[in-house]
Structure 1
């Protein structure tokens, strides 16, 4: 019975990434379920034998092999036994950089040359078995979102295999929860735009996010968007969102879907996109329904979709219109949404070729005017009033407060 550290902890240590950011997973070779239980491990795996260490609570899995037995990422028969070797276990893993083991003495077991691929900054599949699990296409894209800033690229042969999987319709068997899980992690990564590019390069974006895929090739007015292509603009906005709000997948999702309406602009209106905010609303809702996106992500995404042009021109809005914008977006019950709306709109404005460092005073102005309006309380401005009169007095006072703040 031998225990090896495997997967992300080994990979990240070789990349110089802190162990605190990595899961510590172990594979146990030469053991049985009974032997693990006898040593005090607690079994938690349903589909295959996974155990929690009695003291550290770290996961230990018996060495296993997998055989394709159905469609999708769940269609596998798992075999775990003392006869399974470490190399057989590593061979079933997705990428060579994840197929490295380390023994108790610190020696590496690297039968698929993962360390060489780490040095070369290449994401490469371990074997042809990669094609049996469609979730691995999304995992490849998600790893690019994390590792592209380190110089990683996907090996050409892996891209080719991902395209074959897309063409065979394998991705259509993915359940929404798993798609969203991978997407959410990618949107919280350092380079969420690399996630979208990797999916598009493998022809998977049109399956996973057809609404985003449809943005590519749609022109915008060059005087406002030097990058012209709406898909490229979306990538640039994702880049800016990751810099403005690092690790915030909610802002990342809103950035991803803010311009979906531009894909359905009538061709005779191009490159203008009149009413693209309103046209985008049903598309944002469709993505959220299909992927079962959490409510707060949907709320912010819809706010950004509908309001980003209003926020851009906040200095031109009337005082009453500013208050209406705040009220429409539930600012006084959900103040955090206004801050996130401001951040995402900043990412939109700066997500343009050559304009990434452009100042965006509208974000701070939205936050400032909201703070002024929120400071007005009904108890201060509507003493002795009741019913609708309270709301009317409060609105009037808040509009006045916004006016005074702008005049100062």
Structure 2
């Protein structure tokens, strides 16, 4: 049997990037021979093993054949007669279809090294069309390698796959897995641009796709186009190194603008409520985790109020904190503020403008949290108050505490 390191580790080493995970292919072996050598079988669909010491994954060289639409429609064939080139030929992109033997020699039958130098994302073979997940992977790699372009023949193939309905068969778990990884790359906007050009975005996220061409008020949005603004917000979220939940909330914050009646454009009154409904629909369709779902709904509903909060007095600020459940979930409220900052700075020419609302609201929250609600309740009870009156006393105490930390407002 022969061992070859394959895939991303070869690519990243050639790019001078850190290599975090190494994958291996084994040629000329059977599952029984792997077990006898101490490898532990872990693969369900095809033979994959863990190395007894390093715990790295070693897969038997295999070929695959399309048997049905979608991601699960494959049969796999692993046999000692399958060659390394056979195995590499089934991979998605040429830059991921290189291998290295144990002596350090690189095997590159499909021109991966050439495409790395040319900064091209190119499919290995027509078999690319058999797996619709690869459309998402190409888009994700475009977000990671922001100076790479998609080869024209690959983009054309992706469009044909979309037209054939392949993306309609994708399962939610795989869609979210690729979208979430793409959102965490350095230029998430490129993932959506690639998906939009090949038509996949309109099938997977029509709520996002319809934002391009929707005008906004130029005094608030110098970039005017809502889709352009959304991409700027996403890239700002990456620049600020935010969490996945914040980045998804940025993606969903303005979805309602795509449903604004044409006769009231470029104003978007009520888009927050429409955004909430659309965000919930997206989360349900792709089965998003609760933290992403909850923050996205909160940001869609409240981002306009957060932007306007610089003019709020103490009582209005406390009501905003309560509406956002900030007193019980201060960390999530911090993420709401960060998403709103991304929104404010994701505008043409405003990328580096300060966002004082975030610091002001954080001070208000800190002051409200510092109030001893239990002591206030006990004192109110001692004064004969009960029920709603105790709640009002706690609220008044918080308003007073927030008022004490607000910066003075210059007289009009």
Counterpart check, 1:358 vs 2:356: no
TM-score norm. by structure 2 comes to 0.96
Q: Is the 8 A contact 1:378 1:390 kept in 2?
A: no
1:298 to 256, 271, 293: 293
1:381: Cα distance to partner?
2.2
TM-score norm. by structure 1 comes to 0.97
What is the SS of the residue equivalent to 1:79?
strand
Q: Is the 8 A contact 1:102 1:109 kept in 2?
A: yes
What is the SS of the residue equivalent to 1:313?
helix
Q: Is the 8 A contact 2:71 2:171 kept in 1?
A: no
Of the structure 1 ranges 316-325 and 100-109, higher mean CA displacement relative to structure 2 is found in: 316-325
Q: Counterparts of 1:377 and 1:172 in 2: how far apart (Å)? A: 54
Q: Counterparts of 1:283 and 1:407 in 2: how far apart (Å)? A: 37
Which residue pairs with 1:239 in the alignment? 235
Q: Is the 8 A contact 2:360 2:406 kept in 1?
A: no
1:389: Cα distance to partner?
3.8
C-alpha offsets along residues 238-293 of structure 1, whole Å, 9 cap, x if unaligned?
011111134x2111100001000101111110011011111211101100110111
Q: Is the 8 A contact 1:245 1:251 kept in 2?
A: no
What is the SS of the residue equivalent to 2:3?
strand
Counterpart check, 1:379 vs 2:377: no
What is the SS of the residue equivalent to 2:145?
helix
1:137: Cα distance to partner?
0.4
1:91: Cα distance to partner?
0.3
C-alpha offsets along residues 163-208 of structure 1, whole Å, 9 cap, x if unaligned?
1111111000001111011111111111111111110011100011
Please list every run of at least 4 consecutive aligned residues from structure 1 whose deviation after the TM superposition is greater than 6 angstroms: none
Q: Is the 8 A contact 2:7 2:97 kept in 1?
A: yes
Which residue pairs with 1:62 in the alignment? 60
1:394: Cα distance to partner?
1.4
Which residue pairs with 1:13 in the alignment? 13
Which residue pairs with 2:186 in the alignment? 190
Counterpart check, 1:261 vs 2:256: yes
Which residue pairs with 1:176 in the alignment? 172
Of the structure 1 ranges 354-363 and 81-90, higher mean CA displacement relative to structure 2 is found in: 354-363
Which residue pairs with 1:3 in the alignment? 3
1:407: Cα distance to partner?
5.0
Q: Is the 8 A contact 2:232 2:347 kept in 1?
A: yes
Q: How many residues are paired up?
A: 403
Which residue pairs with 2:362 in the alignment? 367
Which residue pairs with 1:114 in the alignment? 112
Q: Is the 8 A contact 1:245 1:343 kept in 2?
A: no
1:387: Cα distance to partner?
4.3
Q: Counterparts of 1:81 and 1:295 in 2: how far apart (Å)? A: 42
How do 1:211-226 and structure 2 match up within 5 A?
211-226=207-222
What is the root-mean-square deviation in Å for CA atoms of aligned residues?
Answer: 1.1
Structure 1 unpaired stretches of 5+: none
Q: Counterparts of 2:27 and 2:42 in 1: how far apart (Å)? A: 18
Q: Is the 8 A contact 2:135 2:158 kept in 1?
A: yes
